[in-house]
Amino acid sequence: MQNQTSSPLPTFFEDSGNGRKGIMSWLTSTDHKRIGLMYLYMVLGMFIVGVCLGLAIRLELIAPGKTIMEAQTYNAVFTLHGVIMIFIVVIPSIPAAFGNIILPIQLGAEDVAFPRLNLFSWYLYMFGTFLALLSLFTGDGPPDTGWTFYVPFSEFTTTNVNTAVAGVFILGFSSILTGLNFITTIHRLRAPGLGWKKLSLFAWSLYATGWIQVLATPVLGITVLLIMAERILGVGLFDPAKGGDPILYQHLFWIYSHPAVYIMVLPAMGVVSEIIPVFARKPIFGYKAIAFSSLMIAFAGSLVWAHHMFTSGMSDTAVMIFSLLTFIVAIPSAIKVFNWIATLYKGSIFIEPPLLYALGFIFLFSIGGLTGLVLGSAGTDVHVHDTYFVVSHFHYVIFGGTGFGLFGAMHYWFPKIYGRMYNKNVATTGWTILMIGFNLLYFPLFIIGLEGMPRRYYDYLPQYHTGHLISTIGSWVLAAGLIVMFANLYVGMKKGKKVGRNPWGGATLEWFTPSPPPLLNFDNEPDSSRNPYRYKGVKRDE
């Protein structure tokens, strides 16, 4: 991975800053770029595991009755798929990987505020992942509760819930510390002249995300500890048989897990806000509105958790209030979408793979967001709650949203990180296959969901067969798209054409340093007082 650059300084691949060589130079590195890459590779590796589990679920559902696995195995497979995708893949994906790699450079800083804590967070992440995977092979077999660990079932299932929730607890710590590190970095390490109004929108999105990570994640940590207290010590908190309250569990769980969807999606929105103006060659429309809407989403998103509980038997007043509040979160999300479209309007658009992913995000996330209103409206939610409509909705939001945001970030910052360019035609082909596969896979699920197909079921009535069949075929198309995308990036990393500092003509600070950047990020003082979205005079060097 060595590269020449126009700079006399060695790249961060060549100079680890700790005097060590080989794998140890990575495992002991406090360089934010190396830590970010270690997150990225782990996240992508675990993503592939999660995708294989998803493909297994789809294969089982290709026809009614048993196809490839037993019912109990099925329960374990969808639980693991959910746990891996949510806690190990999507939550750390953009912030821990690209936040780490890009944020300090965009701020004109040499590293994050607490580099050693940053490395420690990565080890916590590895340890939490290890525990979650360990739950597969120890005790009474893998957990079968679904990623939500709902009580009272999670209290008396004999499967290995304890190890899995211990893993989630540790993963939570990693996320909190990363959030804390980013908040401090943004407050303290901005280069002179880089005021809040010159902050990149990606940095704004990480700032808003950081606050959710710090404030909401502890609630999840305590909640899963309480599950363990109940399972191991027999304390009666949630189990009605012991005088506990299962609805209390649902409240505590969703007080974290709804804001967590914004931990997942805000950074992706930040990526999209970076990509759109660069490829439209136009200053971002509504900079302040986009920055402020991130904070508004973080705030308002913390008040809507009980929209997951409309059918749980809570009071009608609570149902109405949470339904209303949910509609309010739609406003800042829509503000962003309108501003992106307005940025594209009359721009001199050049279509390249990062832009395709950003457009894919807008398209898929809008479908996910609008169907979210169907779920947020208490009247309609009662009919589709716990059906495949929900499964489709959240895949459009988290996979179509965060997943495509992550792929967009990979294609956008790839030349910066490796100093090379992947094959753009193959990247476009991969994107096209992914878009077709994605919609084939998930759109039919809206329809069978509306018709009443419940989620988390192993078997189904024959009337749902066509929808399931199309969806399973779609999962193969999607997998093919992923293979094309990953293979292309891998080849590009090894053999791609070398690029200079600024292959897209971006105006945020990372584009003014060599590709790959040197250890301390810059070879000469960057102009940190420049407007990050002003493209006049910014040359695109190919």
Q: How far is the CB of 84 from ligand HEM (least distance, A)?
A: 9
Q: Which is nearer to Cu ion, 386 or 451 (CB)?
A: 386
Q: Tell whether residue 393 is a contact of Cu ion (CB under 5 A).
A: no
When CB distances are held under 5 to 8 angstroms depending on the partner's kind, the choice from Cu ion, ligand HEM, none that residue 258 binds is: Cu ion
Q: Which is nearer to ligand HEM, 56 or 421 (CB)?
A: 56
Q: What's the Cα-to-Cα distance from 359 to each of 218, 330, 413, rounded to whole Å?
A: 34, 19, 17
When CB distances are held under 5 to 8 angstroms depending on the partner's kind, the choice from Cu ion, ligand HEM, none that residue 403 binds is: ligand HEM
Q: How far is the CB of 403 from ligand HEM (least distance, A)?
A: 5
Backbone angles phi, psi at 24, to 5 degrees: -65, -30
Q: Which is nearer to Cu ion, 214 or 303 (CB)?
A: 303
Q: How far is the CB of 135 from ligand HEM (least distance, A)?
A: 14
Q: Which is nearer to ligand HEM, 46 or 291 (CB)?
A: 46
Backbone angles phi, psi at 134, to 5 degrees: -60, -30
Of all residues in the shown chain, the one whose CB is closest to Cu ion is 258
For the record, the structure tokens of 130 come out as 């290890």
Alpha helices, DSSP H, located in 345-386: 353-376, 378-384
Q: How far is the CB of 316 from ligand HEM (least distance, A)?
A: 27
Burial class (CB in 10 A: 0-12, 13-18, 19+), 232: exposed
When CB distances are held under 5 to 8 angstroms depending on the partner's kind, the choice from Cu ion, ligand HEM, none that residue 496 binds is: none
Q: Which is nearer to ligand HEM, 455 or 530 (CB)?
A: 455
Q: Which is nearer to ligand HEM, 150 or 292 (CB)?
A: 150
When CB distances are held under 5 to 8 angstroms depending on the partner's kind, the choice from ligand HEM, Cu ion, none that residue 176 binds is: none
Binding-residue total with Cu ion (CB under 5 A): 1
> CB–CB of 457/395 below 8 Å?
no
Looking at the chain, the number of H-run helices and the number of E-run strands are: 18, 2
Q: Which residues are CB-contacts of 254 (< 8 A; sequence separation ≥ 6)?
A: 305, 306, 308, 309
Q: Which is nearer to ligand HEM, 96 or 391 (CB)?
A: 391
Q: How far is the CB of 79 from ligand HEM (least distance, A)?
A: 5
Q: How far is the CB of 522 from ligand HEM (least distance, A)?
A: 35
Contact residues toward ligand HEM (CB under 6 A) are 51, 54-55, 57-58, 78-79, 81-82, 85-86, 90, 146-147, 391, 395, 398-399, 403, 441, 455-456, 475, 478
Q: Which residues are CB-contacts of 256 (< 8 A; sequence separation ≥ 6)?
A: 216, 217, 219, 220, 223
When CB distances are held under 5 to 8 angstroms depending on the partner's kind, the choice from Cu ion, ligand HEM, none that residue 78 binds is: ligand HEM
Region of 281 on the Ramachandran plot (φ > 0 left; ψ -120 to 50 alpha; else beta):
left
Encoded one letter per residue, x for contact with Cu ion by CB under 5 A and - for no contact, window 448-487 reads ----------------------------------------
Angle separating helix axes 424-450 and 465-495, nearest 10 degrees: 160
Burial class (CB in 10 A: 0-12, 13-18, 19+), 208: buried
When CB distances are held under 5 to 8 angstroms depending on the partner's kind, the choice from ligand HEM, Cu ion, none that residue 146 binds is: ligand HEM
Can you name the residues that pair with 11 across neighbouring β-strands?
518
The distance of Cα 457 from the centroid of its chain, to the nearest Å, equals 26
Nearest residue to 31 (alpha-carbon basis) of 46, 43, 19: 19
Q: How far is the CB of 393 from Cu ion (least distance, A)?
A: 10
Q: How far apart are CA 133 and CA 139, in angstroms?
A: 12
> Which amino acid, residue 37?
L
**Is the Cα torsion angle 520, 526, 531, 535 positive or negative in sign?**
negative
Q: Which is nearer to ligand HEM, 13 or 431 (CB)?
A: 431
Q: Tell whether residue 385 is a contact of Cu ion (CB under 5 A).
A: no
When CB distances are held under 5 to 8 angstroms depending on the partner's kind, the choice from Cu ion, ligand HEM, none that residue 79 binds is: ligand HEM
Q: How far is the CB of 203 from Cu ion (least distance, A)?
A: 25
Neighbours of 207 (CB within 10 A): 24
Angle at 398 between CA 228 and CA 382, to 5 degrees: 75
When CB distances are held under 5 to 8 angstroms depending on the partner's kind, the choice from Cu ion, ligand HEM, none that residue 398 binds is: ligand HEM
Calculated CA dihedral for residues 115, 116, 120, 126, nearest 10 degrees = 60
When CB distances are held under 5 to 8 angstroms depending on the partner's kind, the choice from ligand HEM, Cu ion, none that residue 58 binds is: ligand HEM
Q: How far is the CB of 444 from ligand HEM (least distance, A)?
A: 11
- Scanning residues 231 to 260, which ones bind Cu ion (CB under 5 A)? 258
Nearest residue to 536 (alpha-carbon basis) of 270, 277, 193, 197: 277
Q: Which is nearer to ligand HEM, 281 or 456 (CB)?
A: 456
Q: How far is the CB of 292 from ligand HEM (least distance, A)?
A: 27
Q: Which is nearer to ligand HEM, 260 or 329 (CB)?
A: 260
Q: How far is the CB of 215 from ligand HEM (least distance, A)?
A: 22
Q: Tell whether residue 32 is a contact of Cu ion (CB under 5 A).
A: no
Which residue ranges make up the site for Cu ion (CB under 5 A)?
A: 258
